[in-house]
Amino acid sequence: MHEHRIQTRWGDFDALGHVTHSAYPVFFDEARDACLAGLVGGFEQWPSVIVHSSIDYRREIPRPAAEVLVHTRIAEVGRTSVTFEQELSAGDGVSAACRSVIVAWDGDARAARPITDDERAKLAG
């Protein structure tokens, strides 16, 4: 399980005084990128594109929360894809859960590419 802390910004909050719904996908994306960077390299070494994302919002994060914590787990590694399960919290309890799928990307072919055995081992490890 990968743990990633993210500092909130003023623009992450809305007029209702809590983290706005549009900030959550950014938080989850940043945590996925950090997880991948630690396992197979950053985007330059291991490009990928997101093909699915769903978020369940469970509880608000009121202002002035200074940071959020995202736990990221790789749930499955497919032939070309990686499925992530993530939970985001700030203080007491999970505020949102995300399930997303990315595919390894071949920039020259402009298409998904197979995940190598070496990459699979790193992602599964």
In three-state secondary structure terms, 12 is helix
Type of residue numbered 40: V
* All structural domains of the chain with their residue ranges: 2-124
Residue 67, strand partner residues: 7
What pLDDT digit, counting tens, does each position of 46-76 carry?
999 999 999 999 999 999 999 999 999 999 9
> Which helix H or strand E contains 27, and what residues bound it?
helix 23-39
Q: State the DSSP H helix or E strand holding residue 106, giving kind and residue range, or none if neither.
A: strand 94-106
Average pLDDT over residues 8-22: 96
**What's the mean pLDDT when you consider all of the chain?**
97
- Degrees to nearest 5, angle at CA 25 with 21 and 27: 105
Phi/psi at 101 (5° precision): -130, 130
pLDDT digits (tens, 9 = 90+) for 23-36: 999 999 999 999 99
CB neighbour list of residue 15: distance below 8 Å, 6 or more residues apart? none
* Separation of alpha carbons 84 and 98, rounded Å: 8
Note the pTM of the prediction, 2 decimals.
Answer: 0.95
What is the second-level CATH architecture of the domain 2-124? Roll (3.10)
